[in-house]
């Protein structure tokens, strides 16, 4: 269920409400009891998962892959 932000234009009270999309909008402010409670427009939050997105496939295309541990050309790794 989405979380909506409501704000009263009379008293300025704001509240986050967990509400189904099919539920009727809230209109009465719980603080001042005026019918000036309105749902605010907010940005949707989402996460792109899987492949095919810039973040996962194309972001570091030009850079060499990162390696973990020590590099194979290290002077300390080869005994003399």
pLDDT band of residue 6 (cuts 50, 70, 90) is: very high
Question: What value does the mean pLDDT take over residues 29-44?
Answer: 92
Average pLDDT, the chain: 80
Is residue 38's pLDDT more than 60? yes
Q: What percent of the chain has pLDDT over 90?
A: 45
DSSP E strands: which ranges in 1-80?
Answer: 3-8, 14-18, 37-39
Among 6-15, 36-45, 69-78, name the one with the lowest average pLDDT.
69-78
Cβ neighbours around 30 below 10 Å, total: 12
Q: What is the CATH number of domain 1-43?
A: 2.20.28.10
Per-domain boundaries in the chain: 1-43
> pLDDT tens, 53-80?
776 666 666 665 566 555 555 555 555 6
């Amino acid at each position: 269920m989405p979380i909506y932000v409501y704000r009263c234009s009379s008293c300025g009270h704001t509240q986050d409400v967990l509400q189904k999309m099919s539920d009727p909008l809230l209109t009465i402010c719980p603080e001042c009891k005026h019918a000036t409670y309105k749902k605010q427009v907010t940005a949707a939050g989402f996460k792109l998962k899987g492949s095919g997105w810039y973040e996962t496939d194309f972001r570091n295309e030009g850079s060499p892959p990162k390696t973990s541990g020590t590099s194979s050309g290290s002077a300390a790794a080869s005994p003399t």
